[in-house]
Amino acid sequence: MEKFVNLTSLDKKVYTSLSSIEGSCMHNGATFKGCQKSKGKSYDVKVTFQQVELEQSYLCGYLTINGLIQDHPQLTTYFDAEIIGPRFSFLTRKWDSSEENDRKHWSKFAAFNFSRNFNNDDFNYMDHHDPNNIFMRWKEHFLVPDINVSEVQGASYAGILS
C-alpha cells in the first residue's frame, strides 16, 4: 500500500521537507503524491524513491509532474537528493547558490527554525533534529525515459529554464 504525504517542491533545485516519521516513509519504492506550486499555479506531482541509503544521507528517484506544459502533459525527471543532517548541511555550497539564497529558501518551511545560525561553523543539526521533519536537497538531472533530452521548451529541471 502506498503512503501519501503532502509534498511541496518550491524551487528550480527542488528542495523539500517531508513531515513524517523517518522510518515509515524513507525506503526504496516509497511513493508520495502532492503538488508543486510555482508562479501562482499548482501542479500535481508524484515522487517515487528508487534507492534510499539513510546511512549515506542519500536517495534518488523519479518526480512526475502533470500539466506543466501543453506539449508534454506529463513529465518525469530523475533526481538525487542529499538528506540534511551530519553529512549534508543546509548550506548548498554548489550550483551557484549563496548563503542568502539558502536562508531565504529554507525559511519558507515552518519547521525550519535555524535561519539565524544554520551557517555557523559550530551548528550541529543533530542538536536540533526533529524526527517528524526530514529536510532534503533535490537535484533533478534528466528527463525519463530519454536521458539524452537536455531541454524541454517551457519546463525547468536541472536548474535550467528552457
Number of helices (H) and strands (E) in the chain: give both, helices first: 3, 9
pTM, two decimal places: 0.73
Task: Tell me the mean pLDDT in the region 15-36.
Answer: 68
Is pLDDT above 60 for 22?
Answer: no
Is pLDDT above 70 for 112?
Answer: yes
Is pLDDT above 50 for 16?
Answer: no
What percentage of residues in the chain have a pLDDT greater than 90?
22
Return the residue matching grid coordinates 534510499: 52
Q: Is 31 exposed, middle or buried (0-12, 13-18, 19+ CB in 10 A)?
A: middle
> What is the 8-class DSSP label of residue 84?
B
- Say which residue, 98 or 73, is predicted with more confidence: 73
Task: Tell me the mean pLDDT in the region 14-27.
Answer: 50
Is pLDDT above 80 for 42?
Answer: yes
Three-state SS annotation for 5-17: CCCEECCCCCEEE
Is pLDDT above 80 for 100?
Answer: yes
Is pLDDT above 50 for 25?
Answer: yes
Return the residue matching grid coordinates 499548482: 42
Please answer whether residues 35 and 66 qualify as being in contact, where contact means their C-beta atoms are separated by less than 8 angstroms: no
Q: How far apart are the first and last CA of the chain?
A: 37
Distance CA 28, CA 12 (A): 24
Is pLDDT above 70 for 134?
Answer: yes
Is pLDDT above 90 for 118?
Answer: no
